[in-house]
Structures are given as C-alpha cells and as structure tokens.
Amino acid sequence: MKAIAFDKILLKTAFCCMASDGHIDSREVEIIKDLCNKSHYFNDFNFIKEIQQLVEEINQDTNSFIVDFLKILDGQEFTLDEELNIIKFSIETIKADDCIEYSEIKFFKVLRRHLKVENEIILEYYPDIENLLQVDIGKPELIVDFIQSHEMPDFLKIDFSLLEDKD
C-alpha cells in the first residue's frame, strides 16, 4: 500500500466520521477546520480544496471510499501520538453537531479496530467515551454491517461562506 501523508490521513479520518451519518453539518466542518489549524501536522495545507476533493471522491463510490480508507490505515505504522490524534480528530468530529448517531458510533468502532492503541490509554485522554469502545455483540464484521446498513447520499459541495472564519 502506498504511503500517504499523515495530514491527509487525519483529514480523511475526520471526513469519514462526519459523513458516516449521511449528513455534513457546518459545525462538523468548522471543528475539522479548527483541528487542522491547531495541529502541527498541517503545514501549507489548503483546507477548502482538500475537503472538497474528499466530497467528490466519496460521491464517486462511498463504499470503496471507506474501504480504501481503512486499507490505508492498515498499511501504515503509526506512533502512539499519531493514533491518539486519529482518535482525537474522530471524537471531536463526531461530537461537533451535538447529536451522536448510531452510525457514527458504529463507524468509530470500525475505525478503532484498525488502530493498535489500547483502550485504557484512550480512556486516559477521553474518559467519557467508554461506550464508543465497547464491543458490539454479534457483529464480528462491523465494516460489512456498516456498509450494508448505510446508504450514503451524494453530498453537496461545502458552502464555506456559512462558516465563521472565511478563507
């Protein structure tokens, strides 16, 4: 698997979490933008261009987009700090719109299976997400279940004029 820059992995992680409920909320976009702006991983980065590219890619084939993203995760060797950043970007994005859908929880659980960091370490940083780390009984293949049970719409381009800090 071809190596991919970690900033792209973080952005794609947050984007997948945002899209997992079938809706792109402006608060989610704003939180992702804020996370990118505050992270040392994002230098010389055109947020608007990158996020619009992800919208186009997911609209081409949602299932392939998600499966390919998970394959990228599997093909990388992450440090503990990088895995914790993936968790941070995921959790912050999922919480951004003040409405956590089961599809987002399910996607997080799928994502979690592709990381090596121990639950105990995650809970040290995020003690309020224990429910996101619990195993779903009877669902050994969460990604198959997620893909089969969620039909994603075609997403519209994101209107950045609605966000507080215009670029």
Question: How many whole angstroms separate alpha carbon 66 and alpha carbon 121?
Answer: 26
Best CA proximity match to 89, nearest among 59, 130, 125: 125
Task: For residue range 45-102, list pLDDT tens digits in order.
Answer: 899 999 999 999 999 998 899 999 999 999 899 999 999 999 999 999 999 988 888 8
Question: How many whole angstroms separate alpha carbon 117 and alpha carbon 126?
Answer: 13
Best CA proximity match to 22, nearest among 60, 59, 48: 59
Give the domain ranges of the chain.
6-150
Is the pLDDT assigned to residue 153 strictly greater than 90? no
Task: For residue range 14-46, list pLDDT tens digits in order.
Answer: 999 999 988 889 999 999 999 999 999 998 889
Is the pLDDT assigned to residue 145 strictly greater than 70? no
